[in-house]
Amino acid sequence: MKVLVPVKRVIDYNVKVRVKADRSGVDLANVKMSMNPFDEIAVEEAIRMKEAETATEVIALSLGPTQSQETLRTALAMGADRAIHVVHDGDLEPLAVAKMIARIVAEESPDVVILGKQAIDDDANQTGQMLAGLLGWAQGTFVSKIEAANGSLKVVREVDGGLESVMLTLPAIITVDLRLNDPRYASLPNIMKARKKEIAKRTPEELGVDVTPHLKVVSVEEPPRRKSGIKVGSVGELVDKLQNDAGAI
Ligand code: AMP
């Protein structure tokens, strides 16, 4: 089974995001960037499938600026076999990303594409679903377990209030949730080896995809600051505050 794993370069999840003064977006200057955490989980799962001999090859794919190469090097150091970089400097919306992944799918013919359930920068949660729609493939979203089963994949989905198990006929799209696995750290020798692996370069033009945005960000706001809490001295005081100050009961 050949596995394609799209990985996005995003602001590191530990960084405290600052909104630009003109509210046009978030400040990316001198900010640490990393692989989208859900995509690390997707890479880890693909590598585990290879170790279990369910997968034969793992290809990492990133669409974005020159620096997305670093994200691909991380995927290679974790254990991906090779990487493809679609170089583009501006914003990329999920539909354009899904269309470009679909073109790479047509060239590479993977049996399964494993994506993150969402990229933590734009929180779109759209690319996997759009890709499944464009390709007409089976999809399992928010997946917390994957098992190979007689040429199909059985996946467990995290749904409201429980878990849902579904069988996916291949080829299929999977989007992964947080509880699927704990991604490994790449070892130093593997990081060194990954530096030498080749990354194939492509462009949106070559792939024939128009990446002109359909959306314009009107403004970005920080969430309102939470008011500080108070300590109450007794249950009676708590009930009084809830009744008379908060109007909650
Ligand atoms: P989103 O729909 O933007 O929340 O992203 C969902 C998933 O699609 C991510 O976790 C990635 O696996 C994939 N993806 C989105 N944008 C990109 C990109 N520019 N390059 C590679 N993969 C991407």
Distance between Cα 92 and ligand 1 center (Å): 10
- pLDDT per residue of the chain (249 residues) written in tens, 0 to 9: 999 999 999 999 999 999 999 999 999 999 999 999 999 999 999 999 999 999 999 999 999 999 999 999 999 999 999 999 999 999 999 999 999 999 999 999 999 999 999 999 999 999 999 999 999 999 999 999 999 988 899 999 999 999 999 999 999 999 999 999 999 999 999 999 999 998 999 999 999 999 999 999 999 998 888 888 899 999 999 999 999 988 888
- What pLDDT, on the 0 to 100 scale, is given for residue 198? 86
Say if CB 181 and CB 65 are below 8 A apart. no
Distance between Cα 235 and ligand 1 center (Å): 48
Say if CB 93 and CB 8 are below 8 A apart. no
Q: Which one of 3, 8, 71, 143 would you pick to mutate in the ligand 1 pocket, going by the greatest count of ligand atoms within 8 A of its CB?
A: 8
Dihedral through CA 136, CA 137, CA 141, CA 144, nearest 10? 180
Q: Which CATH class is domain 2-245?
A: alpha beta
What residue ranges do the domains of the chain occupy? 2-245
- What pLDDT, on the 0 to 100 scale, is given for residue 12? 97
- What pLDDT, on the 0 to 100 scale, is given for residue 151? 85
Instruction: Supply φ then ψ for residue 224, to 5 degrees.
Output: -60, 145
- Which residues contact ligand 1 via a Cβ below 6 A? 6-8, 36, 38-39, 62-64, 92, 94, 97, 115-116, 118-119, 122, 124-128
Nearest CA to ligand 1 atom 16: 8
- What pLDDT, on the 0 to 100 scale, is given for residue 13? 96
Distance between Cα 189 and ligand 1 center (Å): 28
Distance between Cα 166 and ligand 1 center (Å): 23
